[in-house]
Amino acid sequence: SMEGSMLTISFGDWMELPGLTFKEWAASKRRNTKSDRVTPEEIACYYKHYVKVMGLQKNFRDNVYITSVSRLYRGKDDEGRSQLDEDMSAQHLEGEDGQKSVIKRNWEIRGYQRATDGSHVPFCLFAENVALATGTFDSPARLQVEGEDFPFVLHSMSDFGAAISKGK
């Protein structure tokens, strides 16, 4: 919704995606990037191109609105859970090599996708992890919701990066 003639203050590394720098992308479009300032349209085109180049289309949907995110089971350890909880929270898949693997489905995400005719198409999907990003790099937003202070809720990119590198 930003005006097309507006320019970013600075297109820094923090806006680039891994494996394809903005300058590489701009060069492929025959755009000379003498300045670090770019338009919102250029950024949007770069991000859309990245999704296509990296083969990530299956992970993205346009006009989607999330209405709820719920944990399927609660508890600090697995000992108190019933078999029903276990069945709901894991899906057993057999790979091409015949090995069975488990995909945990800890979260239920509900919402709808707005169709071109304006109607709403509801959906429900399950995920092992959910990430919600709000605020900015130097000023994370607090949502004032239950669970915001849980140990697995992080409020800075450096904490998030450290958790990822430790496999948490």
How many Å separate Cα 19 from the centre of its chain?
17
Paired residues of 143 in beta bridges: none
User: What's residue 72's pLDDT?
Assistant: 84
Q: Which residue has the higher pLDDT, 27 or 79?
A: 27
Nearest residue to 41 via CA among 16, 10, 5 = 5
| pLDDT tens-place string over residues 99-146 | 555 556 688 999 999 999 999 999 999 988 887 777 666 677 777 888
Q: Average pLDDT in the 73-88 region? A: 47
Enter the pTM of the model: 0.51
**N-to-C CA span, the chain:** 36
Paired residues of 93 in beta bridges: 101
User: What's residue 55's pLDDT?
Assistant: 94
In whole angstroms, give the CA distance from residue 110 to residue 69: 7
Percentage of the chain exceeding pLDDT 70: 65
Q: Which residue has the tokens 């800890």?
A: 106
